[in-house]
Structure 1
Amino acid sequence: MCNLAVDIRHQRKGIATSLVYECERQVQEWYNKYNNYNYIINNDDDDDENKNRNKENDTTSISNSVCLKVRESNMAAIQMYLKLGYLTVWQEKEDNGNTILVMRKQLSSSAAAAAVAAADITTTTNNNNTARVVVS
Protein backbone atom coordinates (compact mmCIF):
# COMPACT_ATOMS: atom_id res chain seq x y z
CA MET A 1 0.00 0.00 0.00
CA CYS A 2 1.46 3.35 -0.97
CA ASN A 3 0.70 7.02 -0.28
CA LEU A 4 -2.56 6.76 1.65
CA ALA A 5 -3.65 10.24 2.68
CA VAL A 6 -6.95 11.86 3.58
CA ASP A 7 -7.54 15.61 3.34
CA ILE A 8 -7.43 17.13 6.82
CA ARG A 9 -11.03 18.37 6.41
CA HIS A 10 -12.21 14.77 6.05
CA GLN A 11 -10.07 12.96 8.62
CA ARG A 12 -11.56 10.99 11.52
CA LYS A 13 -14.56 9.93 9.40
CA GLY A 14 -13.46 6.37 8.61
CA ILE A 15 -12.26 7.17 5.10
CA ALA A 16 -8.71 5.90 5.61
CA THR A 17 -10.01 2.72 7.25
CA SER A 18 -12.34 2.13 4.30
CA LEU A 19 -9.48 2.65 1.86
CA VAL A 20 -7.29 0.18 3.78
CA TYR A 21 -10.14 -2.36 3.76
CA GLU A 22 -10.54 -1.90 0.02
CA CYS A 23 -6.82 -2.43 -0.51
CA GLU A 24 -6.98 -5.61 1.56
CA ARG A 25 -10.04 -6.80 -0.38
CA GLN A 26 -8.24 -6.23 -3.69
CA VAL A 27 -5.10 -8.07 -2.53
CA GLN A 28 -7.26 -10.98 -1.35
CA GLU A 29 -9.07 -11.04 -4.71
CA TRP A 30 -5.78 -11.15 -6.62
CA TYR A 31 -4.45 -13.82 -4.29
CA ASN A 32 -7.52 -16.01 -4.79
CA LYS A 33 -7.52 -15.51 -8.54
CA TYR A 34 -3.86 -16.15 -9.23
CA ASN A 35 -2.95 -18.65 -6.52
CA ASN A 36 -6.08 -20.77 -6.22
CA TYR A 37 -7.33 -21.02 -9.80
CA ASN A 38 -4.23 -22.15 -11.69
CA TYR A 39 -3.62 -18.80 -13.35
CA ILE A 40 -0.09 -17.62 -13.91
CA ILE A 41 1.36 -14.17 -13.81
CA ASN A 42 3.63 -13.19 -16.65
CA ASN A 43 3.76 -9.51 -17.51
CA ASP A 44 6.27 -10.06 -20.32
CA ASP A 45 4.25 -12.38 -22.49
CA ASP A 46 0.49 -12.36 -22.99
CA ASP A 47 0.14 -15.08 -25.60
CA ASP A 48 -2.56 -17.76 -25.27
CA GLU A 49 -0.06 -20.53 -24.56
CA ASN A 50 1.21 -18.62 -21.52
CA LYS A 51 -2.29 -17.84 -20.25
CA ASN A 52 -3.29 -21.50 -20.28
CA ARG A 53 -0.13 -22.85 -18.67
CA ASN A 54 -0.61 -24.82 -15.44
CA LYS A 55 0.35 -23.10 -12.18
CA GLU A 56 2.62 -26.04 -11.27
CA ASN A 57 5.05 -24.92 -13.98
CA ASP A 58 5.13 -21.34 -12.72
CA THR A 59 7.35 -19.92 -10.01
CA THR A 60 5.45 -16.65 -9.59
CA SER A 61 2.80 -16.23 -6.92
CA ILE A 62 0.86 -13.42 -5.30
CA SER A 63 1.36 -12.69 -1.61
CA ASN A 64 -1.61 -12.76 0.71
CA SER A 65 -0.36 -9.86 2.81
CA VAL A 66 -0.29 -6.08 2.72
CA CYS A 67 2.79 -4.04 3.62
CA LEU A 68 3.13 -0.32 4.17
CA LYS A 69 5.52 2.31 5.47
CA VAL A 70 4.58 5.01 7.96
CA ARG A 71 6.62 7.67 9.75
CA GLU A 72 7.11 6.87 13.43
CA SER A 73 5.96 10.41 14.23
CA ASN A 74 2.54 9.78 12.62
CA MET A 75 0.93 8.32 15.74
CA ALA A 76 -2.67 8.61 14.48
CA ALA A 77 -1.87 6.50 11.42
CA ILE A 78 0.13 3.97 13.45
CA GLN A 79 -2.75 3.57 15.91
CA MET A 80 -5.18 3.02 13.04
CA TYR A 81 -2.93 0.40 11.43
CA LEU A 82 -2.42 -1.41 14.75
CA LYS A 83 -6.20 -1.42 15.30
CA LEU A 84 -6.61 -2.96 11.83
CA GLY A 85 -4.16 -5.76 12.63
CA TYR A 86 -0.89 -4.50 11.16
CA LEU A 87 2.36 -5.30 12.94
CA THR A 88 5.69 -3.52 12.73
CA VAL A 89 8.17 -5.84 11.02
CA TRP A 90 11.06 -3.47 10.33
CA GLN A 91 12.37 0.04 10.98
CA GLU A 92 14.30 2.23 8.58
CA LYS A 93 16.17 5.47 9.16
CA GLU A 94 15.81 8.27 6.62
CA ASP A 95 18.78 10.50 5.81
CA ASN A 96 17.12 13.28 7.82
CA GLY A 97 17.03 11.05 10.93
CA ASN A 98 13.31 10.24 10.84
CA THR A 99 12.32 6.66 11.55
CA ILE A 100 10.05 4.83 9.13
CA LEU A 101 8.11 1.80 10.33
CA VAL A 102 7.44 -1.01 7.89
CA MET A 103 4.15 -2.66 8.86
CA ARG A 104 2.58 -5.83 7.52
CA LYS A 105 -0.72 -7.67 7.80
CA GLN A 106 -1.17 -11.28 6.74
CA LEU A 107 -4.63 -11.66 5.23
CA SER A 108 -6.93 -14.63 5.51
CA SER A 109 -10.21 -15.38 3.78
CA SER A 110 -12.11 -14.38 6.94
CA ALA A 111 -10.16 -11.09 7.15
CA ALA A 112 -11.08 -10.22 3.59
CA ALA A 113 -14.76 -10.97 4.22
CA ALA A 114 -14.71 -8.79 7.33
CA ALA A 115 -13.03 -6.00 5.39
CA VAL A 116 -15.68 -6.05 2.70
CA ALA A 117 -18.48 -6.12 5.27
CA ALA A 118 -17.01 -3.23 7.26
CA ALA A 119 -16.23 -0.96 4.34
CA ASP A 120 -19.04 1.00 2.72
CA ILE A 121 -17.30 1.44 -0.61
CA THR A 122 -17.77 1.02 -4.33
CA THR A 123 -14.89 0.20 -6.63
CA THR A 124 -14.81 0.52 -10.38
CA THR A 125 -11.93 -0.48 -12.61
CA ASN A 126 -11.25 1.02 -16.03
CA ASN A 127 -9.51 -0.68 -18.98
CA ASN A 128 -6.11 0.29 -17.61
CA ASN A 129 -6.82 -1.58 -14.34
CA THR A 130 -6.86 1.70 -12.44
CA ALA A 131 -9.27 1.52 -9.53
CA ARG A 132 -11.54 4.36 -8.46
CA VAL A 133 -12.81 4.04 -4.92
CA VAL A 134 -15.99 5.81 -3.79
CA VAL A 135 -16.58 5.97 -0.05
CA SER A 136 -20.21 6.46 0.99
Structure 2
Amino acid sequence: MRIGELSTRTGVNAHQLRYYEAQGLIAADRSPNGYREYDETAPLRVKQIRHLLGAGLSSEDIAYLLPCAEGEAPTLPACPDLLSAMQTRLTRLDDQITRLTHSREALAVYIAAAERTTSETYPPFDGPPAVATHA
Protein backbone atom coordinates (compact mmCIF):
# COMPACT_ATOMS: atom_id res chain seq x y z
CA MET A 1 0.00 0.00 0.00
CA ARG A 2 1.16 3.55 -0.63
CA ILE A 3 1.64 6.21 1.99
CA GLY A 4 -1.75 7.83 1.32
CA GLU A 5 -3.58 4.58 2.00
CA LEU A 6 -1.51 3.94 5.13
CA SER A 7 -2.34 7.45 6.29
CA THR A 8 -6.06 6.88 5.70
CA ARG A 9 -6.05 3.49 7.43
CA THR A 10 -4.19 4.73 10.51
CA GLY A 11 -5.26 8.38 10.79
CA VAL A 12 -1.59 9.41 10.84
CA ASN A 13 -0.53 12.04 8.33
CA ALA A 14 2.05 11.27 5.66
CA HIS A 15 4.62 13.63 7.18
CA GLN A 16 4.55 11.65 10.44
CA LEU A 17 4.76 8.38 8.56
CA ARG A 18 7.89 9.59 6.75
CA TYR A 19 9.33 10.60 10.14
CA TYR A 20 8.61 7.10 11.53
CA GLU A 21 10.41 5.66 8.52
CA ALA A 22 13.39 7.98 9.02
CA GLN A 23 13.57 6.84 12.65
CA GLY A 24 13.59 3.18 11.56
CA LEU A 25 10.21 2.47 13.15
CA ILE A 26 8.52 1.40 9.91
CA ALA A 27 9.96 0.28 6.61
CA ALA A 28 8.88 0.79 3.03
CA ASP A 29 10.08 -0.60 -0.23
CA ARG A 30 10.33 1.68 -3.24
CA SER A 31 8.43 0.98 -6.42
CA PRO A 32 10.16 1.61 -9.78
CA ASN A 33 8.59 5.08 -9.89
CA GLY A 34 9.94 5.90 -6.42
CA TYR A 35 6.68 5.61 -4.45
CA ARG A 36 6.85 4.13 -0.97
CA GLU A 37 5.19 0.74 -0.74
CA TYR A 38 4.25 -0.55 2.71
CA ASP A 39 3.33 -4.15 3.48
CA GLU A 40 0.13 -5.26 5.20
CA THR A 41 1.75 -5.21 8.67
CA ALA A 42 2.39 -1.45 8.48
CA PRO A 43 -1.02 -0.32 9.85
CA LEU A 44 -0.57 -2.47 12.95
CA ARG A 45 2.99 -1.22 13.40
CA VAL A 46 1.85 2.43 13.13
CA LYS A 47 -0.90 1.84 15.71
CA GLN A 48 1.65 0.28 18.05
CA ILE A 49 3.93 3.29 17.58
CA ARG A 50 1.06 5.69 18.37
CA HIS A 51 0.22 3.80 21.57
CA LEU A 52 3.84 3.78 22.70
CA LEU A 53 4.26 7.48 21.90
CA GLY A 54 1.12 8.09 23.96
CA ALA A 55 2.86 6.38 26.88
CA GLY A 56 5.59 9.02 26.70
CA LEU A 57 8.23 6.86 25.08
CA SER A 58 10.71 8.46 22.71
CA SER A 59 11.19 7.20 19.16
CA GLU A 60 14.52 5.78 20.33
CA ASP A 61 12.77 3.86 23.11
CA ILE A 62 10.14 2.67 20.66
CA ALA A 63 12.72 1.47 18.16
CA TYR A 64 14.16 -0.68 20.94
CA LEU A 65 10.79 -2.01 22.15
CA LEU A 66 8.92 -2.40 18.87
CA PRO A 67 10.44 -5.71 17.69
CA CYS A 68 8.93 -7.35 20.78
CA ALA A 69 5.51 -5.64 20.59
CA GLU A 70 2.46 -7.82 20.06
CA GLY A 71 -1.04 -6.62 19.18
CA GLU A 72 -2.39 -3.13 18.61
CA ALA A 73 -2.28 -1.88 22.22
CA PRO A 74 0.56 -3.33 22.26
CA THR A 75 1.55 -6.00 24.73
CA LEU A 76 5.24 -6.13 25.58
CA PRO A 77 6.75 -9.33 26.95
CA ALA A 78 8.37 -8.91 30.34
CA CYS A 79 11.93 -9.69 29.29
CA PRO A 80 14.56 -8.07 31.54
CA ASP A 81 15.98 -5.66 28.92
CA LEU A 82 12.56 -4.29 27.98
CA LEU A 83 11.48 -3.99 31.58
CA SER A 84 14.68 -2.14 32.46
CA ALA A 85 14.22 0.28 29.53
CA MET A 86 10.63 1.03 30.52
CA GLN A 87 11.58 1.50 34.19
CA THR A 88 14.31 3.95 33.15
CA ARG A 89 11.79 5.91 31.07
CA LEU A 90 9.33 5.94 33.99
CA THR A 91 12.03 7.32 36.28
CA ARG A 92 12.79 10.08 33.75
CA LEU A 93 9.09 10.95 33.55
CA ASP A 94 8.83 11.06 37.35
CA ASP A 95 11.83 13.42 37.46
CA GLN A 96 10.23 15.66 34.82
CA ILE A 97 6.95 15.72 36.75
CA THR A 98 8.80 16.72 39.92
CA ARG A 99 10.61 19.56 38.10
CA LEU A 100 7.40 20.74 36.47
CA THR A 101 5.56 20.67 39.80
CA HIS A 102 8.26 22.83 41.39
CA SER A 103 8.17 25.23 38.43
CA ARG A 104 4.39 25.44 38.64
CA GLU A 105 4.47 26.18 42.35
CA ALA A 106 7.11 28.90 41.88
CA LEU A 107 5.14 30.47 39.04
CA ALA A 108 1.96 30.45 41.15
CA VAL A 109 3.83 32.34 43.90
CA TYR A 110 5.01 34.95 41.37
CA ILE A 111 1.51 35.35 39.97
CA ALA A 112 -0.01 35.76 43.43
CA ALA A 113 2.60 38.39 44.33
CA ALA A 114 2.01 40.26 41.08
CA GLU A 115 -1.75 40.21 41.62
CA ARG A 116 -1.33 41.62 45.15
CA THR A 117 1.00 44.36 43.90
CA THR A 118 -1.32 45.24 41.03
CA SER A 119 -4.38 45.52 43.25
CA GLU A 120 -2.51 47.66 45.79
CA THR A 121 -0.93 49.97 43.19
CA TYR A 122 -3.80 50.36 40.80
CA PRO A 123 -7.35 50.76 42.11
CA PRO A 124 -10.05 49.02 40.13
CA PHE A 125 -10.95 50.82 36.93
CA ASP A 126 -14.51 52.15 37.02
CA GLY A 127 -14.43 53.72 33.61
CA PRO A 128 -13.45 57.21 32.48
CA PRO A 129 -14.23 60.18 34.76
CA ALA A 130 -17.46 61.98 34.08
CA VAL A 131 -17.09 65.05 31.90
CA ALA A 132 -18.75 68.16 33.31
CA THR A 133 -21.03 69.87 30.86
CA HIS A 134 -21.99 73.53 31.11
CA ALA A 135 -25.44 74.51 30.21
Question: Larger % of helix: which?
Answer: 2
Question: Larger % of strand: which?
Answer: 1
Q: Which bracket does the TM-score occupy, shorter chain normalised?
A: under 0.3
Q: What TM-score do you get using the length of structure 2 for normalisation?
A: 0.24
Q: What TM-score do you get using the length of structure 1 for normalisation?
A: 0.23
